[in-house]
């Protein structure tokens, strides 16, 4: 399976190449970036939630739903959200997944700002 089979799109975060062109990503990198975009877009309403266990469980459910709805290139194996011991106003969402096209495993952790 070649990287192009997994898609190609604007790199995230948006940036320029050394030659001044808009950067693109493809393959597994594009999938990881897409997951991060889905999470950052879909979890914006959580910015004012408190950083508690019940919030983490609700976020896990929202992440599973968002990824199933918006990212068909992966099968989410597990989603966990936990507090960040170093930052009381941050939770960490860890998504373990496999690529549908290749069955290759992947893992991504994203920081979610919350209220302490």
pLDDT in tens, 16-74: 999 999 999 999 999 999 999 998 888 877 878 999 999 999 999 999 999 999 999 99
Contact criterion met (CB below 8 Å) for 63 and 43 = yes
What pLDDT is recorded for position 1? 45
* Beta carbons of 15 and 23 less than 8 angstroms apart: yes
What is the edge-to-edge ordering of all strands in the sheet holding 105-113?
Answer: 74-84, 87-99, 105-113
Domains of the chain: 3-113 (3.10.450.40)
pLDDT above 80 (res 85): yes
| 111 beta partners | 92
Q: Is the peptide bond before 106 cis (omega within 30 degrees of 0)?
A: no
Please state, as a whole number, how many other Cβ atoms lie within 10 Å of the Cβ of residue 65. 11
- Phi/psi at 57 (5° precision): -65, -40
Give the burial class of 94: count Cβ atoms within 10 A of its Cβ; 0-12 exposed, 13-18 middle, 19 or more buried: middle
The structure tokens 């549908």 sit at 100
Does this model's pTM top 0.95? My answer is no
């Amino acid at each position: 399976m070649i990287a192009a089979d997994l898609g190609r799109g604007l790199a995230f975060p948006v940036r320029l190449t050394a030659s001044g062109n808009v950067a693109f990503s493809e393959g597994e990198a594009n999938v990881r970036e897409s997951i991060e975009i889905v999470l950052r877009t879909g979890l914006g309403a959580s910015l004012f939630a408190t950083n508690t266990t019940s919030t983490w469980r609700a976020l896990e459910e929202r992440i599973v739903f968002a990824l199933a709805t918006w990212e068909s290139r992966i099968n989410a194996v597990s989603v966990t959200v936990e507090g960040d011991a170093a930052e009381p106003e941050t939770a960490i969402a860890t998504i373990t997944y496999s690529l549908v096209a290749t069955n290759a495993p992947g893992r991504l952790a994203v920081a979610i700002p919350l209220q302490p």
